[in-house]
Amino acid sequence: MTTLFIHIKQLIQVREKGLLKVSGKDMKTLPFIENAYLLIENDSIKDFGPMADCRSTKADTIIDATGKIVMPTWCDSHTHVVYAGNRVQEFVDRINGLSYEEIANRGGGILNSAEQLQNTTEDDLYKQSLARVKQLMALGTGAIEIKSGYGLTVNAELKMLRVIKRLKTDLKIAIKATFLGAHAVPKHFKDNKQGYLNEIATKMLPKIKDEQLADYIDIFCEKGYFDLDDTDFILTEGKKYGLTPKIHVNQFNAFGGVALAVKHKALSVDHLEELNENDIEALKNSNTMPVALPSCSYFLSIPYTPGRALIDAGLPLALATDFNPGSTPSGNMNFVVSTACIKMKLTPEEAINAATLNGAYAMDYSNDLGSITIGKKANIILTKAIPSFHYLPYAFGENCIDKVMINGEFIS
């Protein structure tokens, strides 16, 4: 089965094999070929180059991409897309003056989502989540990470992770699963945080390992949630079960969580709305990817991650949605890329690098996804006719996508 795209206006993010992430100044370059072709064979990228070099004239499907951009699909390395119901009332409460923290302190927030999820059957949770993931795929996302963390009991956390496993089996999109049992202290452990952490270590992690339900271990390292000792404990316990750390840190306060995550060889540190020099120093000479979540900053009206400072310090940066019912009820990576340019002052080249190759890195997928590279999976966005790739973040809110291909097959 072959598909040949011809006369592509710009084929972007073309890379040699072996490049797993881009950092610092290199993020300003987004290699592309004008008037290009791209040949897909079965589920992989077989060949590409300038039209003048196009030797293949036969394929099962030929697509004339005149005026259009072809690029790798978005790699969304931070989502909570498996959740039950919504938190619309909290949205209205915030408009009327309550803060995110005040809502959480009143028993809303994560605990509200946990209650809704505990009262939802696994099948219903699967259906709600499947609909969301399909929506994201149509918006150009070809790989996602999904977290647990709205269960907060042994059964409900396992329910979430089993739903993620079903999504992995049923959908073509690449999915990584993260265990975020330490998302908040549940009501039944109020005043006994260590009791809950012990439950995670002794009851949840062994079952997760038995059923092979997770790739990563996460914790919400934040004042009022889990401190540095808790984070050290959970990451140590998770690693005993083969789970790599990938954590929520510095959303509202910076107090050493980044350095601790680096010490634990975290794959990524996510949020970073509050960032200081020590955090930046800790990330230098590490393999940990900083991940910014600009839709969360937009929705909560909190500071944007200082992405410019990270890149200017020579570091890499990834962009992700944080799709969840409380702080970011949107999984649209196109909006994330626009917002990173508009609010964080990333160039379109930097933002697209951050949302493709670096996003793939933050899920251990950059050997297979995140760029137009021979041998990588054929996860492709074909845009509508647009002036250039710079138009993608510029035309925020406009749907510029014509078709999305996942593993060599068009899904829309």
Ligand X SMILES: N=CN[C@@H](CCC(=O)O)C(=O)O
Instruction: Please enumerate, by residue number, every residue annotated as part of a binding site for N-formimidoyl-L-glutamate.
Output: 150, 324, 326
- Using CB under 5 A as the criterion, what x/- string covers residues 270-309 for binding Zn ion? ----------------------------------------
Q: Is residue 215 part of the contact set for Zn ion (CB under 5 A)?
A: no
Annotated binding-site positions? 78, 80, 87, 150, 183, 248, 251, 322, 324, 326-327
Whole-angstrom CA distances from 116 to 17, 104, 109, 370 are 45, 15, 11, 35
Q: Is residue 353 part of the contact set for ligand X (CB under 6 A)?
A: no
Q: Is residue 324 part of the contact set for ligand X (CB under 6 A)?
A: yes
Q: Is residue 230 part of the contact set for Zn ion (CB under 5 A)?
A: no
Q: Closest approach of Cβ 390 to ligand X, in Å?
A: 29
CA–CA separation, 152 and 157 (whole Å)? 6
Q: Is the separation of the CB atoms in 189 and 156 below 8 Å?
A: no
Q: Is residue 290 part of the contact set for ligand X (CB under 6 A)?
A: no
Q: Is residue 148 part of the contact set for ligand X (CB under 6 A)?
A: no
- DSSP annotation of 73 reads P
Stretch that binds ligand X, among 7-15, 108-116, 133-141, 256-264 (CB under 6 A): 108-116
Question: Site for ligand X (CB under 6 A): which residue of 72, 109, 307, 359?
Answer: 109
Q: List the beta strands (DSSP E) in 166-293.
A: 174-182, 216-221, 244-249, 268-271, 289-292
Stretch that binds ligand X, among 157-165, 203-211, 322-330, 361-369 (CB under 6 A): 322-330
**Nearest partner of 142 among 93, 74, 86, 210, judged by Cα:** 74
What tokens appear for 205 in the block?
A: 């992690």
Q: In this complex, which beta carbon is closest to Zn ion, that of residue 322 or of residue 350?
A: 322
Q: Is residue 222 part of the contact set for Zn ion (CB under 5 A)?
A: no
- DSSP annotation of 172 reads S
Question: Site for Zn ion (CB under 5 A): which residue of 115, 199, 218, 322?
Answer: 322
Q: Is residue 269 part of the contact set for ligand X (CB under 6 A)?
A: no
Q: Is residue 356 part of the contact set for ligand X (CB under 6 A)?
A: no
Stretch that binds ligand X, among 119-127, 204-212, 323-331, 385-393 (CB under 6 A): 323-331
Count the residues in the chain. 412
**Nearest partner of 337 among 141, 172, 173, 174, judged by Cα:** 141
Give the one entry of ligand X, Zn ion, none that residue 288 binds, where binding means its C-beta sits below a cut-off of 5 to 8 angstroms depending on kind.
none
Cβ atoms within 10 A of the Cβ of 209, count?
15
Question: Site for ligand X (CB under 6 A): which residue of 327, 332, 371, 383?
Answer: 327
Stretch that binds ligand X, among 166-174, 185-193, 318-326, 385-393 (CB under 6 A): 318-326
Using a 10 angstrom Cβ sphere, with 0-12 exposed, 13-18 middle and 19 or more buried, the burial of residue 230 is buried
User: Looking only at residues 190 through 229 of this chain, which bind ligand X when binding is defined by CB under 6 A?
Assistant: 220
Cβ atoms within 10 A of the Cβ of 215, count?
19
Give how many residues touch Zn ion by CB under 5 A. Answer: 1
Q: Closest approach of Cβ 328 to ligand X, in Å?
A: 6
Stretch that binds Zn ion, among 114-122, 322-330, 333-341, 354-362 (CB under 5 A): 322-330
Q: Closest approach of Cβ 284 to ligand X, in Å?
A: 25
CA–CA separation, 119 and 185 (whole Å)? 18
Q: Is residue 251 part of the contact set for ligand X (CB under 6 A)?
A: yes
What tokens appear for 93 in the block?
A: 């409460």
Q: Closest approach of Cβ 149 to Zn ion, in Å?
A: 8
**Nearest partner of 315 among 284, 291, 274, 336, judged by Cα:** 284
Q: How far apart are the first and last CA of the chain?
A: 18
Q: Is residue 145 part of the contact set for Zn ion (CB under 5 A)?
A: no
What tokens appear for 41 in the block?
A: 């064979």
Annotated binding-site positions for 4-imidazolone-5-propanoate? 87, 150, 183, 251, 327
Rg of the chain in Å (alpha carbons): 21
Long-range CB pairs of 55-61 (<8 Å, 24+ gap) are 56/2, 56/4, 58/2, 58/4, 59/2, 59/3, 59/4, 60/1, 60/2, 60/3, 61/2, 61/3, 61/4
Stretch that binds ligand X, among 156-164, 198-206, 321-329, 374-382 (CB under 6 A): 321-329
Give the interface with ligand X as residue ranges (CB under 6 A).
Answer: 109-110, 113, 220, 248, 251, 296, 322, 324-327
Give the interface with Zn ion as residue ranges (CB under 5 A).
Answer: 322
